[in-house]
Structure 1
């Protein structure tokens, strides 16, 4: 089953994706995708993000592959839903997409053994974890300005039940910019696989429902600009559509509310 969180009829509610592409709301109403506003498919709790978890990606950034997971945390304001806008400052020189498999935790656990790890997975989703590399400082990246910017992590559209994925460690990942294939890889090439990551993280902290592990991105990055449509796609999970926008869209106009949400 594929589920989404959407805003429809003035309220936030769960929706189920049907085989014909329509969405069935909790009250049974059927709507087209274009009739709702997509939110992240779960309300993110603690979000763990893997840096350099594909050796080919580490190589294209001129870093060596890590011997231990390079993990950082991501704040909630970075997340937006399917068909959303992401802000690229006009002054930025290098902004890259990053197609990543998101692993959503389904139950509380600590000291989880590798062989039991998949029992703690609720499902899978797609994330596009944009990086503005102008602010990159060193190997122990990324600092807050690279990876914790408002609107810079579209996620969704759906949460796909764990039971529906044949093998999460053998899924093709692709990224298209304005219809052109730019990035291609496979989750089988992760340095640290999903069971290892769950065992590793739970060895020193408790994992809880709706925690998310973003598992890294393969080689194939390219700069994106305002107006670009970026589609990140993962086999068996779906396609996440996102558009880049610049200062003209996101910078508050004189007299406007400077605390208005960036979410669209």
Structure 2
């Protein structure tokens, strides 16, 4: 077994995804479904040992069809979500044109934080908080920190990244600071699972797409990142200590657009996978 695709499913069990089936590996690695984030951190910290246990015990696991399970956010409750703004050149041009040459650049903006409480999983629903304000989709490659990191140079960052997944950064447009406009409940869909770094190999050469209903809105490749995954890790870890289980998300390319009630938004990233979420208005 070269790699793992780790999914949370059916009330926070943990599964290994292979083709179209999910193996429930909870009992093999001492998983506590009542404490999924803490359990995930233990899996990452003890990964070599846990991987051997999974390899040796997989034939004894209960098996589900992927189509029959309810996937959940693969990183359910990180201590922080660190996000890169304006990290593709064409999106930088798009933003500056839209906002009257405001000269948005990642070098000037650095990064921002999103609330972990904004996380939802595949098949869940984005709840739009306002009927009279524009809310946009943003497709991004994200990754989860596998071990504690501070002041890590880009050349060493790959040693600290456990795995990758797809992320949608949902955003209300306006003049408020980014953390407010991007942290409403349901504004960070992630999934469909974590693909371990050895399977992804080079995260800085991945194609990805986002559709709203049947319309292709975003299509790009991470080779066009201004700060690639490793450089962004360096910048983030220079400012703050990164803890196991933290999420870093690398920014969105051009093609950002409006989402409305009734839409289905789908993201697909090469070597990682695909998932969709629904869009509705927040009740009340």
TM-score of the two chains, using structure 1 as the length reference: 0.85
2:51 is equivalent to residue 52 of structure 1:
no
Task: Output one character per residue of 1:86-110: Cα deviation in whole Å (capped at 9) or x when no partner.
Answer: 0013524311111100021111121
Shift of residue 206, structure 1, vs aligned partner: 1.4
Matched residue SS, 2:234: helix
C-alpha spacing 1:5/1:236, structure 2 compared with 1 (3 Å): same
User: Pick from 58, 64, 68: which aligns with 1:31?
Assistant: 64
Task: Output one character per residue of 1:44-69: Cα deviation in whole Å (capped at 9) or x when no partner.
Answer: 22210111111211221224223245
Shift of residue 23, structure 1, vs aligned partner: 1.4
2:98 is equivalent to residue 76 of structure 1:
no
Matched residue SS, 2:254: coil
Q: Give yes or no for contact 1:136–1:143 (8 Å, CA) kept in 2.
A: no
2:83 is equivalent to residue 61 of structure 1:
no
Q: In 2, Cα distance between the equivalents of 1:148 and 1:179?
A: 27
Matches within 5 A, 1:1-264: 1-6=4-9, 8=10, 11-19=11-19, 21-26=20-25, 28-43=61-76, 44-62=78-96, 63-64=102-103, 65-68=105-108, 70-89=110-129, 91-133=131-173, 135-137=174-176, 141-144=177-180, 146-247=181-282, 250-251=283-284
Structure with higher helix content: 2
Q: Give yes or no for contact 1:5–1:15 (8 Å, CA) kept in 2.
A: yes
C-alpha spacing 1:207/1:246, structure 2 compared with 1 (3 Å): same
Q: Which residue of 2 aligns with 1:260?
A: none
RMSD of aligned alpha carbons: 1.6
Could you tell me which runs of 5 or more consecutive residues in structure 1 were left unpaired when the two chains were aligned.
252-264
Q: Give yes or no for contact 1:81–1:156 (8 Å, CA) kept in 2.
A: yes
Q: Give yes or no for contact 1:22–1:32 (8 Å, CA) kept in 2.
A: yes
Q: Give yes or no for contact 2:115–2:179 (8 Å, CA) kept in 1.
A: no
Q: Which residue of 2 aligns with 1:256?
A: none
Matched residue SS, 2:178: coil
Task: Output one character per residue of 1:69-122: Cα deviation in whole Å (capped at 9) or x when no partner.
Answer: 531111121000011100013524311111100021111121212211100010
Q: How many residues are treated as equivalent by the alignment?
A: 240
Q: In 1, Cα distance between the equivalents of 2:163 and 2:179?
A: 28
Q: Which moved more, 1:36-45 or 1:60-69?
A: 60-69
Q: In 2, Cα distance between the equivalents of 1:205 and 1:215?
A: 17
Q: Give yes or no for contact 2:144–2:245 (8 Å, CA) kept in 1.
A: yes
Shift of residue 226, structure 1, vs aligned partner: 0.8
